[in-house]
Amino acid sequence: MRFRSALAAAAILTLTAACGGGGGDGGSASSSNEPVKIDFLSLAWQKESVAANKQLVEEWNKANPGIQVTYVQGSWDNVNDQLVTQFAGGTAPDVIHNDSPALSGFASDGYLLDLKDKVPAELKGDIPQAAWDTVTFDDGKGAQGVYGVPFLQESQVIIANKKLLDASGARVPTADEPWTWDEFSEAAKKMTKGGTFGVAWPMKSPVNKTLNLALNFGGTFFQTADGKTTVKVGPEEREVLQRIHDQLYKDKSADPAALGQGTADPLPAFYQGKFALLPAGVYLRQQVVEQAPDGFEWVTLPAPKGTSAQQGAVSQTLSVAQDSKHPDEAMKFISFFLNGANQAKLAKGDWLLPTSQTAAADPAMTTEENGWDVATASAKNLVVAPFLKVNGFDEWKSKVATPALQEYFANKITIDQVAAKLVEDGDKVLERYQR
């Protein structure tokens, strides 16, 4: 996931010392003339995104002298380890930027405030229920709570070399009429000629991409019965895996050189016309805009669809620490920070999709320039990724699924063998989390 990108190379500030204001001696506006002080931990890392975050904090502080927010820079690379230490020591920031998978454990441990009765109606109504589902977790006592406000999401799209696409004669898919997977395969075959491949699948980190797209065919990879969760790799889960494998070894329309690469690594070959189509997260458009050589024409296409166009969704979120001395003021700041106009600014800065329906309708989000119209339209297909609710998923992903899928896409094991590894080794991992 780009949210934890190793590219977050900005200097990481030591948070423990900086994040004590919310629970410290900042005072309260009701008991003294001193303003309420709130610390906001931001994980923004791109230049445009950091600028947008800081601008909004500055706007808030100018308009709200009684509630002053301190911007604290963090990093996706180590945020959860730092938060564990800060929660235990009572020094956590008041407002915490994270992604939805991380919230489950912190919520069940009692470190995050349940926001379900604190989110203002206007903000709640502006964000679809499917996005709220990504931040709704068990509180560890059997009840469901809302532990963050979801504001940015990622979808999968296809970035295409326009010249090669046009020359192929393939139908150009639209947001309303995407390619089926069969059409996608046929288009890739048409574009495979003269030393050019139709598609590239960078599979250094194959899990999120394949599991999110598996929802095209109803593949969930996990099932729960009688309170016990196990791994499932049936016909629905195999569909996308098999289709990608077929492009590599049956159709030979996928560039084998991309297999061991990360998401952005194939871009130089893409610009050189080594392949025509690159399935990727919507954020990759930014690097294409910044890096593509003069005269290179590209377009953003929607991801293919199976029995549906559904994709798994992960949200970036803002949460409130359970120990915050100023939860109401923190919620007021979050409501401002994530209103429709501001979400549009944040989405543009991060090249991601706003959850706000108001923001999604902003002209900046619907322009054809740089594929924003196709990217924003893809948000309607995002649903909560079932695997993100599974306790033990991170270990299953790193220790079982990643190496098994890498072997499969390298053609070292069969579809039956990868299914067996995912299930048998995976169930052993999950068992430890359900004792």
Q: Please indicate, yes or no, if residue 370 is contained in any of the structural domains.
A: no
SS3 content of the chain, % helix, strand, coil (to 5): 45, 20, 35
Q: Are residues 344 and 258 in the same domain?
A: no
Shortest CA distance to 16 belongs to which of 91, 97, 96, 111?
91
* Interval 113-143: pLDDT, tens: 999 999 999 999 999 999 999 999 887 777 8
Q: Please indicate, yes or no, if residue 141 is contained in any of the structural domains.
A: yes
Please report which confidence band the pLDDT of residue 24 belongs to, taking 50, 70 and 90 as the band edges. very low
Q: Are residues 144 and 9 in the same domain?
A: yes
Q: Which domain holds residue 220?
A: 156-312+388-432
What pLDDT, on a 0 to 100 scale, did the predictor assign at position 435? 67
Q: Are residues 88 and 22 in the same domain?
A: yes
Q: Are residues 420 and 288 in the same domain?
A: yes
Q: What is the mean pLDDT of residues 363-371?
A: 95
SS3 427: helix
Please report which confidence band the pLDDT of residue 5 belongs to, taking 50, 70 and 90 as the band edges. very low
Top pLDDT among 28 and 432 is at: 432
Check whether 21 has a pLDDT greater than 50: no
**Token pair for residue 241?**
């895996």
Please answer whether residues 174 and 344 qualify as being in contact, where contact means their C-beta atoms are separated by less than 8 angstroms.
Answer: no
For the beta carbon of residue 9, count every other beta carbon within 10 angstroms.
Answer: 10
Could you tell me where the DSSP H helices lie in 127-263? Answer: 129-133, 162-168, 181-190, 207-214, 235-249
DSSP at 254: B
Top pLDDT among 108 and 274 is at: 274
Q: Please indicate, yes or no, if residue 366 is contained in any of the structural domains.
A: no
Please tell me the total count of domains within the chain: 2
What distance in Å separates the CA atoms of residue 183 and residue 125, rounded to the nearest whole number?
37
Q: Are residues 215 and 198 in the same domain?
A: yes
What pLDDT, on a 0 to 100 scale, did the predictor assign at position 32? 62
Q: Are residues 401 and 268 in the same domain?
A: yes
Average pLDDT across the chain, whole number: 91
What distance in Å separates the CA atoms of residue 421 and residue 239, rounded to the nearest whole number?
17
What pLDDT, on a 0 to 100 scale, did the predictor assign at position 33? 79
Q: What is the mean pLDDT of residues 186-192?
A: 98
When mean pLDDT is compared across 227-241, 243-257, 379-393, the lowest value belongs to 379-393
What pLDDT, on a 0 to 100 scale, did the predictor assign at position 26? 37
Q: Are residues 273 and 215 in the same domain?
A: yes
When mean pLDDT is compared across 13-17, 171-175, 329-333, 431-435, the lowest value belongs to 13-17
What is the model's pTM?
A: 0.86
Check whether 279 has a pLDDT greater than 90: yes
* CB contact burial 134-146 (16+ within 10 A = b; e otherwise): bbbbeeeeeeebb
Check whether 356 has a pLDDT greater than 80: yes
* Interval 36-70: pLDDT, tens: 999 999 999 888 899 999 999 999 999 999 999 99
Q: Are residues 340 and 208 in the same domain?
A: no
Top pLDDT among 33 and 343 is at: 343
Check whether 109 has a pLDDT greater than 50: yes
Q: Are residues 240 and 208 in the same domain?
A: yes
SS3 156: strand
Q: Please indicate, yes or no, if residue 380 is contained in any of the structural domains.
A: no
Q: Are residues 110 and 196 in the same domain?
A: no
CATH code: domain of residue 428? 3.40.190.10
Share of the chain above pLDDT 70, in %: 92
Q: What is the mean pLDDT of residues 286-290?
A: 94
What pLDDT, on a 0 to 100 scale, did the predictor assign at position 79? 93
What pLDDT, on a 0 to 100 scale, did the predictor assign at position 347? 96
Q: Please indicate, yes or no, if residue 135 is contained in any of the structural domains.
A: yes
Q: Please indicate, yes or no, if residue 114 is contained in any of the structural domains.
A: yes
Q: Please indicate, yes or no, if residue 15 is contained in any of the structural domains.
A: yes
Q: Are residues 286 and 192 in the same domain?
A: yes
Q: Please indicate, yes or no, if residue 374 is contained in any of the structural domains.
A: no
SS3 259: coil
Q: What is the mean pLDDT of residues 299-307?
A: 98
What pLDDT, on a 0 to 100 scale, did the predictor assign at position 22? 37
Q: Are residues 135 and 259 in the same domain?
A: no
Q: What is the mean pLDDT of residues 246-263?
A: 97
Check whether 16 has a pLDDT greater than 60: no
Check whether 13 has a pLDDT greater than 60: no
What element of type H or E holds 343? helix 340-350
